[in-house]
Structure 1
Amino acid sequence: MAALSTAEEWLANANDTINISLVAPSKSGLQNIATFHPKFTYSIFGEEEQIFGYKDLKISLRYRANDMRPHLKTTYSKKFKPIGDAEPTDIVEILQEGKHLPKIAFVKGNDFEDSSKQISDTWTPPGTLHTTIDTPEGQYEVWRGNLADQAVKQLNTRLQIFVPFFIEGGSYIGQDPESDSAELDLSDADRWTLFFLYQKQKVAGDPEKSSYTFVGYATIFRFFYFQPPTPPASPKGEWELPTGDLDLNELPCRTRLSQFIILPPFQGKGVGARLYKTIFEHYHKYPQTHEFTVEDPNEAFDDLRDVCDLEFLRTIPEFDALRVDPSVTIPKKGAIPRLILGGENLERIRLQAKIAPRQFYRVLEMHLMSKLPDSVRPSMALDSEVPSPTKADNHQERLWQLIVKQRLYRHNKDVLSQIEPNERIEKLQQTLGGVELEYARILAAFERSTGHSKPQSTAANGKRKLEDDSASGSSKKARVEDA
């Protein structure tokens, strides 16, 4: 027990010990803009996220707020003397050998501070200015660049440690997640595009000059999108490969948002949604992109994406007009008829929107649910008087539930086919309850974000209230982070 107590005295929680700060030069030296901690450190310091061998350990990771040049500094009051195999964690060695930080992060503090005084007043982020966003909180700029650009590559190298810090299961660009090697393969750098979000502010006392503060960034990867030939290729083999240079940027592609990070000090202000919309709109207009996808989103990003995608889809008149078809009668046997008014156009609308199938049909279900009669529409509203639904209201609710159950069954067909019919029905009903809760929560967020919310006494009236203990949807591994 004494030995255990002694060992615990030398342990420090890595998440709490690491202080990340954004700093900017001022007349009195470097000025602290914001300080925050990582969310995860297990991929760097082990599953327990513990650092052994120090007392009063502090790890300071300072970033220059504009070009994000990092500087690492560790301090402690006492260091453990090695006994056998027990020795202090070599913090610098772990960060260097794992290539979590660039070499420039390990220079002396004076070098970092002196270089900050020398940075040009005309500095701008790497890449090209993609768009400017004006908000009540100030002006933001989105800069876009290709990873093959050395300046973009340098900034990515400085930022990449935020991926394991804030994305559960996240890995670096070019890293093999199945390998222990820290080597990065950037042979496909030209297929990566990075979007950097900066806050732009006028310099106090000199309105002609501006300063930049890094807010967040996203990485995009392009996959080749195979299209079956129409009409089918000739069976005689008459087709030939094109000759000459082939520009890969002109090939059809599936565009995947791989990493998405808004730093903690800037979360909860809506800037993440603005960045996502900027990226989506860019690739929606890009003729080579046939589908826009997101890699393993977590729940927080899923919510942001759902709200943004619903807002976008409702700008398409054909989508906005979609409703459950109340004239449909469900047969006791045989095939189920089309349940949505205008449903024959769904795939054409999806292809026009360039949204992946699963995401499109989830957002469609949210849209259809929002159009149900008040008496049967699931809602997060509390203390609301719920009128009795009519027979027609119940029929529309049943049709909507059937639409959702059809998708759930297709998605889980292999598992559901192995259980008894009665249990299968019960499982689907439980999952449906979770879907209703999830959609009601997202629709409430949608109303808040788009300014469509009404006073609670009006909006809540007539909606079926959902309790928080309904079954929830499946958890997902997170590669995207924003709150």
Structure 2
Amino acid sequence: MESMFRLSNGQATAKRLKTDSEDYKVCANECIRLHLFDPSTSSSSWPPSGLTGSFKPEFTHQIFGDDEEIVGFKGLAVDIYFSQADFQAFVEIAFEDKAYGATDILSTLQEHFPGGLTSDKQQFLTVATTKQAGTPLQKLGSPLSIPEVRKGLSVTQANLAGGSQELKDLHERLQPFLLFFIDGASFLDADDPKWELLLATEHQAGRDVVVGFCTLYTFYAYPDTRRFRLSQILVLPPFQHKGIGAALLRAAYVMADKCNAVDVTFEDPTDTLQSLRDLIDLQRAMGCVWLQSAAEQVAAVWQTADPAAVVGTSGSLRTDSGTNKALADAQKQLRISQQQASTSLHMARRIWEAVLYAQPKVRTDAGLATLAQLVRRRIEGNSASVKKQAETKRVFDVAHQGFIMRKCRGKMPLLPGNGVPVAMENDEQTPEEAEQALTEALTARITSLDGQLAKLGILKR
């Protein structure tokens, strides 16, 4: 068996081998392992015994390139340890063989660890041990009172620019996790006073540890309020599926409620994050007594009315002014932006569909037929809106520089200099295919509503 070289603060001798050999190419996602290290429970042995969790990254392309490959090594193992006390980081690199021209792993990683990454084990252990007695995490900001959060879990809010240096250092050391687990993530400017940080902490063995974090950017909203945009949210892998992501989202809403913010928007949410937001929005909506009353009134009408008489051609309900006011109030109280509610017809109507579906009278043959019409019109209206927006976008060639995309006013004829219209993926769909896609979307929506209401204990699976 070949010998194993270990690289910490030293260097191993490299062979004159071609780095393009397949034997000397390693997938970075497979050879890198991240470890959460608890210095208070670790013995003097190495690898340490006090590991809270070990896991692989999901992405490394922003560090090692689009192919996510490390070249010039055979039998490579890269272990990165984070102290849970303050997220100081140490990397240990081991391999069977190394070729000339190999990737400089240590330097490449250090470029993406703004809070520092050492290859000196003793230095790491010394710092990790002495940092255990730092400022309690909840005193780095203001604890928030979050509804329905399990015992031992807390969320603390702090303004990054106005926070202590200890807070800034902690956030800086947490940022590399974004590159490993959020596709296309980028570091933020901590000196911008508009950035807010939410720290999720859990009480373990007599002290608090960071289990997740979230950043929000604040914007001015006329005349005297604000709006929030949720930019990044991450729960560390060992603590996922424990309600921490939901706690961070609820904390964002608590912040919005405290300052009477206009809305809370999301920056490129994943499907998982969007589903979580749908669930929390529904839970908040179910707590609106007046909205429940409006839903009960509509459900009663649906028992006898023809679907076409209840659902308008635009997807809106043919209801009395009281119900329409309730929907407008719901949009405001649930922090749904005007753009989301009126342009995409996505958020407000999705919430309204779920509130209606929670009504027993709606879950009848007559009620479900009308709800299906409501969902159908929303989906059709959203598709038409997206297509209309795309029709105003044109692609223009730029000599020797590729192309640019511009939004143009009104429809433009296909003439030289007018650019090329942005193609729509569903333009080639036949009527039968379009109807089939719509039917599948309707089925998926009802299934989603069943799941959401079951999670809230309103329905049994």
State the TM bucket, normalised to the shorter chain.
0.7 to 0.9
2:373 aligned to which of 398, 409, 415: 398
Pairing partner for 1:348 from 312, 329, 338 = 329
User: Which residue pairs with 2:198 in the alignment?
Assistant: 195
Q: CA deviation at 1:21?
A: 0.6
Of the structure 1 ranges 66-75 and 393-402, higher mean CA displacement relative to structure 2 is found in: 393-402
Q: How does 1:368-407 map to 2 (within 5 A)?
A: 368-371=356-359, 389=365, 394-395=369-370, 397-407=372-382
CA distance in 2, matches of 1:302, 1:328: 33
Point out where structure 2 has 5 or more consecutive residues left out of the alignment.
1-16, 392-410, 412-422
Q: Which amino acid aligns with 1:119?
A: K
Shift of 1:367: 3.1
| 1:449 equivalent in alignment to 2:449 | no
In 2, Cα distance between equivalents of 1:256 and 1:120: 33
1:354 counterpart SS class: coil
Residue aligning to 2:218: 222
* Residue deviations 1:210-247 (CA, integer Å, cap 9, x gap): 222221100010012245xxxxxxxxxxxxxxxxxxxx
Q: Secondary structure at the match of 1:195?
A: strand
Amino acid at match of 1:62: Y
Q: 2:328 & 2:430 partners in 1: Cα distance?
A: 28
Query: Is the 2:59–2:180 Cα contact (8 Å) retained in structure 1?
Result: yes
Q: Structure 1 residues 278 and 290 mapped into 2: Cα distance closer, same or farther (>3 Å)?
A: same
Q: CA RMSD in A?
A: 3.4
Q: Which of the residues 134, 150, 158 maps onto 1:145? A: 158
Higher relative contact order (CA 8 A, sep 6+): 1
Q: Which moved more, 1:266-275 or 1:434-443?
A: 434-443
Distance in 1 between residues matched to 2:193 and 2:334, nearest whole Å: 26
Could you tell me which residue of structure 1 aligns to residue 4 of structure 2?
Answer: none
* Residue 327 of structure 2 is aligned to residue 339 of structure 1: no
Q: 1:198: how far off?
A: 1.4
* Residue 17 (structure 1) shift: 1.1
Q: Which residue is 1:383 aligned to?
A: none
What is the aligned partner in structure 2 of residue 278 from structure 1? 251
Matches within 5 A, 1:291-310: 291-310=263-282
CA distance, structure 2, for counterparts of residue 329 and residue 404 of structure 1: 16
Q: CA deviation at 1:340?
A: 4.9
Q: Is the 8 A contact 1:191 1:221 kept in 2?
A: yes
Q: Distance in 2 between matches of 1:132 and 1:344?
A: 30
Separation of aligned partners in 1, 2:314 and 2:231? 38
Shift of 1:440: 3.0
Is the 1:40–1:164 Cα contact (8 Å) retained in structure 2? yes
Question: Residues 134 and 122 (structure 1 numbering): CA distance in 2 closer, same or farther, change over 3 Å?
Answer: farther
| Worse-matched range after superposition: 61-70 or 336-345 | 336-345
Structure 1 position 404, deviation (Å): 4.0
How far apart, in 2, do the equivalents of 1:215 and 1:440 lie? 34
3-state SS of the aligned residue for 2:117? helix
Tell me how far apart the structure 2 counterparts of residues 291 and 336 of structure 1 sit (CA, whole Å): 24
Describe the SS at the equivalent of 1:12: strand
Pair 414,140 (structure 1): closer, same or farther in 2 beyond 3 Å:
closer
Query: 1:451 offset after TM fit, Å?
Result: 2.4
Alpha-carbon distance in 2 for matches of 1:112, 1:279? 34
Q: What amino acid is aligned across from residue 410 of structure 1 in structure 2?
A: S
Is the 2:217–2:229 Cα contact (8 Å) retained in structure 1? yes
Unaligned residue ranges in structure 1 (runs of 5+):
82-86, 175-185, 203-209, 228-250, 377-388, 457-483
Instruction: Find the counterpart in structure 1 of residue 385 from structure 2.
Output: 410
For residue 281 of structure 1, report the CA deviation from its aligned partner.
Answer: 2.1
How far is 1:197 from its partner?
0.9
Verify the 8 A CA contact 1:146 1:152 in the aligned structure 2: no
Q: 1:297 to 1:265 in 2, by over 3 A?
A: same
Pick aligned residue for 2:208 from 199, 208, 212: 212
Q: Given the alignment of the two structures, is residue 63 of structure 1 paired with residue 78 of structure 2, yes or no? A: no
Residue 285 of structure 2 corresponds to: 313
TM-score norm. by structure 2 comes to 0.74
Change (3 A) 1:415 1:393: same
Bigger mean CA offset, 338-347 vs 260-269: 338-347
SS state at 1:119 partner = helix
C-alpha contact 1:220 1:259 (8 A) present in aligned 2: yes
Aligned mates of 1:372, 1:413 — CA distance in 2: 37
Asked whether the 8 Å contact 1:194–1:218 carries over to 2, the reply is yes
SS at match of 2:262: strand
SS at match of 1:104: coil
**Deviation readout 1:424-453 (Å, 9 max, x if unpaired):** 865764453343344334323323432233
- Distance, in Å, in 1 between the alignment partners of 2:148 and 2:207 is 17
> What fraction of aligned residue pairs are identical, expressed as a percent?
25
Partners of 1:365 and 1:310 lie apart in 2 by 10
Give the counterpart of 2:236 among 255, 263, 268. Answer: 263
Q: Give the Cα separation in 2 of the matches to 1:225 and 1:9.
A: 57
What secondary structure, in the 3-state scheme, does the structure 2 residue paired with 1:39 have? coil
Residue aligned with 1:445, SS: helix
1:297 deviation in Å?
Answer: 0.2
Equivalents in 2 of 1:422, 1:120: separation in Å? Answer: 62
Deviation per CA, 1:437-482: give whole Å up to 9, x if none: 443343233234322332x4xxxxxxxxxxxxxxxxxxxxxxxxxx
| Residue deviations 1:380-438 (CA, integer Å, cap 9, x gap) | xxxxxxxxx46x76455335433443344334334599999996865764453343344
Deviation at 1:66, TM superposition (A): 2.6
| Distance of aligned partners of 1:256 and 1:375 in 2 relative to their CA distance in 1, 3 Å threshold | closer
Contact 1:68 1:214 in 2 (8 A): no
Give 3-state SS (helix, strand or coil) of 2:158's partner: strand
Shift of 1:330: 3.6
Q: Distance in 2 between matches of 1:337 and 1:46?
A: 46
2:181 maps to 1:166: yes
Q: Report the CA distance between 1:40 and its aligned residue.
A: 0.7
After TM superposition, the score normalised by the length of structure 1 is 0.71
Aligned to 2:349: 361
Q: Which residue of 2 aligns with 1:38?
A: 57
